[in-house]
Each structure stands twice: as structure tokens, then as C-alpha cells.
Structure 1
Amino acid sequence: MTEKRTYTYAVLRYVHDVMTAEFVNVGVVIYVPSTGSVLSRVRNSMGPRLRGVFPDLDRDAFTRAMRATERSLATLTKETRTEGLFPSDADAVGMVARALPKDDSSIQWSSPAGSGLTNDPEKTLARLYDRFVSRYDVRSLRRRSDDDVWRPVRLKLEEQNLSVQLQEKTIVGTVDEIVFKHAWKNSVWHVYEALSFDLADADGIKTKAREWAGHLLSASDGATEVFKPHFIVCGPSRIELSSAYKSALAILKKAPGTPEIFEEDQVDDLVAQIEDEVRAHEAHAS
């Protein structure tokens, strides 16, 4: 069995604006002190994550910065092959600082260094690169919007050829008001909103639910018109965010007005309910 060796690593970051310190991970450097080995891997293209986070990023400038970084790290790797050139108690942060001195440039690195044991530094580098850099390219594929969630509802309603036309409705309370994109009225206002929870992280998912619960609370206080809220929702693409999604649904269900929640696989149920209520209203009116 190959002996496991201690290694440390540093994550390279592209800092778009040094004043705001917003960054995206763009590379990983590993240092194995027992062998004096330095391994590195950096981005060679912007990818969807960088384009999404920094839409005004200059592609050419970014590419030049990454090529310069790659050259500096390649020089460091070559130098470490000289036995005893660097102390065995150095870590990845100290090593990368030799190649990329800390300054106000856009390429920075994480600190303190991470660490672990490896019997295959190349595989460990690939795993860390996927963990900190490339995995977010896959997950930054287009997420479903609120409009995407509502679209199948709209199409099915059109198929039913109902006489009622859904309209935008503003519910005004004492301290605030809330605009629903889709609504119709019989004895009360039936208001509908599509909410996509196909978001990037757990905090974003819960925050969106809390915001809507807050909207309902503010608009319900002193509202002069009775309304019944309904939400059609979709969950996150990432399965590890399922718990946050369940929390978001629980938050909405306890919101003022006792909103009805329909998940995206319940579109037929929502449309059938709207159809039944509209038909009943038409029959009563006639």
C-alpha cells in the first residue's frame, strides 16, 4: 500500500473588486512537504459561474491574468524539484505566496491552508479542484425562474377556455401592499404567485420564503379586501438543498392568510381547483 503523506492546500480566488472583496474560486495549489512537491490547477476559461457572478468581467483581461498565474505556478513547481530548496514546515499558503506575492491584484488565495493525507497527490488535486472550482460550473446552469414555474399553469388554463381572465392585483394593507401577478374575484380575491426555490444556497431559499411570509403579514394588516393566497412552487435542483426547501414550505404554510401551496407536480390540481371555482361562480352569477 502506498504511504499516505500529509499535504496542505490553498484555493486561488479571482477578486473582481478589491473594495467589495467579492470573489470566485479559480484554482487550487497543493504542497506535499515530505517530497517538496507543488501541484496546481487553475481555470483556463471564464465558465458560466464567473459570467453569472461578474457579467461585466473583461474576458481578455481575465484570461491574461490566469495565464500569468499558471506561468508563475509552473515556475514554482519546477523550483521545488530541487531537493531541500524549501523548508519542510512550509504550507501551501506560504508556497503560493512565493509565486504570487500578496498585493492588490485580482488573484488572491485562501488562508489559512487546508490540510489532509494523500497517497496520490494528482488525484487529490483533481478532487479539490472539482470541490472548490469546477463543480459550480455544472450547478450554475440556468435555474428555473418564477415565470418558468407559472408557465405550465398558464398553458393549462388556456386549454380550459375559462371566461375569467387572471389579472394583476394589489392588496393594500395599513403599513404595506403586495402585488400578485395573477388574480380573479368572486366573493373574495383569489391571488396566485409562482415561486421558484431553484436557488443557489439554503439561505437564499429560506430568505425568499421569509420575505413572502413578511409580505403577507404586512398586507394582511388592515387590508380592506378579503383575499386568499395560493403559491405554485418548485424546489431546488440540488438535492442537498431539499431540507432548506422543506423549511421554506413550512414557513409559507404558516404565513398569514393560510396560503395554499401547490408543488410543480400538482399543477393539474391547481388548475382543476381554479376551474371548479370559476365554473361555480359563473353558475351562481347566472
Structure 2
Amino acid sequence: MENNQYIYSILKYKHSLLLGESLNIGILIYIPNEEKFIFRYSKSLSRIKSIYDIVSEKTIKQYLSQIELKLQTLKSDEIHFYQNELVNFFDKFIDKFILPQDGSVLQFSSSKTSYSYGNDSETIANNLTSKYLLDKEKHIAGITTTKEPILVKKFYGYLSSLDFERINQNANKFYKNYKVRNETGNEFNFDYAWQNGTLNLIKPISFDLKESKGIAEKAYKNFGLFTDLSNEASSNNLRYDLLIARPTLKSLYREFDHALGLLETLQRVEIVLEENIEKYSQKAINALTLDI
């Protein structure tokens, strides 16, 4: 049975260096025995946009096209010439010939080498694509990538029948994609905002993760984020409303309670658990329709 070595690197969309957030959107595979590259990427780029509204899908597609073009222009004799570099220094090869590590939003991860016994290159590619990419709703690298857009869609779903043009005719009371800029000029996007004495900015946070460490890290990152944005909240009469999803695994409830307790200490922050989104949405509806 043939021992098929392969080397692969995950292409990640890095949305926020501050929050350390990234999503897998592609995978580059090299099969040394066949001197062959395979590049696969997610066909559901719109899912990234549903998670991060300020994503430029056009920019991402341009990057993907450039990667495909560079791989196509590598001739077979060139691949054969660089065989040693490809096998032993795959990361450096990517940086030099495919996509430089220059701090752009798309970056390849550190490569890994593995072996497949009896599987051809297409089977290898299919298995890796199924495991790492966004095309299916599944846990990837310890995080759930689909829960947070579900939280905001639940909220907006209750409000979707409102006449927002009429609501905003005299003064802006409801916003989509509201942006807050901190003291250093970094900009943060909130899916929705609604006025009720304070301007309430909505941020979904899913703790439906696989490990307690992931819950702790996410809590610390968001605690740091909203601590950093506390001056903006005070200056502009803002409130940050966090739509929170619980973990599915009961073994993580203790860590979740600790994370919730940490976030509850923040000033000008309201916690809205997933099961209370309908009640919270009704408060927004009542405030928005009070004078119309």
C-alpha cells in the first residue's frame, strides 16, 4: 500500500489582531510524490461577512485569485527544482512565492506534514477540506463559527417587520453597522444599535466552545475590549448590550459562569442571555415605536 506524504497549510482570514480572531477559509496542499499543489477555499465567503459585516468580499476574492494564479504559473520543472525547499521549508516557500507574511488580512498558518496510506491526492484534499473549511456548520479548532450571527439574527428577526424609515424620520433611533472608534483610532463595528435614553450597541458573544480555556480567553478578550471602549461609552452615552450564548457541554458551565461574572463587572454593559433575546427585543420595539 502506497505511503502518500502530504504537506498542508491553512489559509486564515485574520479579522482582529486585538481579539486574535481568525477564520479558516482555504487550504494549500502539496503532494511530494506527485509534485502537485492542490488549493481549496470555502465557497461560503458570505458566511464571513455574516460574522464580520465590514469584510470586503471583493478584496478576499482578489487575494484568492492571486494565489491561484501564482500556483498556475509554477511550471512542473520549477516545482521539481524546488522540491527540497517545498518538502523541508514549505512555510518559506509560501512566503516567497505564494503569499508573503506581510500583515495582510489573509495569512497562511504554519504548515504540517502528514501521511495517508492508500488514499489518492483528491481524497486527501477532500478530507482536509471537510475538516478545516467553513462550508459546513461544525466546530473548527475549538471554536464555533456560526453561533454569533445566529444571535444577532434572532434579535433582528423580532424587529424586522418595523418601518425603520418612519422610526428614523425625525431622529436616528435605529442603526445598522454602527462604528465606534477608540482613542487610538481603531474602529469597531456593532451589528445594530437602538436608542432608549442611551444608544445601545449590540455585540454577540458565543461561549458555545469545546474547551474551558477557549471560554476563558474569549471572556478576557472581550473584557479588555469593553474596558478599552469605556471612555467612548461615557463620552457618547453608549451602552454595550452583549447577546450571550451558553456552552452546550455541561462540563463547561462552571467556566461559563466565571466568564459571565467577569463581564458583569463592566460599566455600561448589559448581559442578555440567548433565552432572553425575545424579551430584550420587545424592549427595543417598545422604545423605537413609542412616538410613532
Q: TM-score, normalised by structure 1?
A: 0.48
Higher-Rg member (1/2): 1
Q: TM-score, normalised by structure 2?
A: 0.47
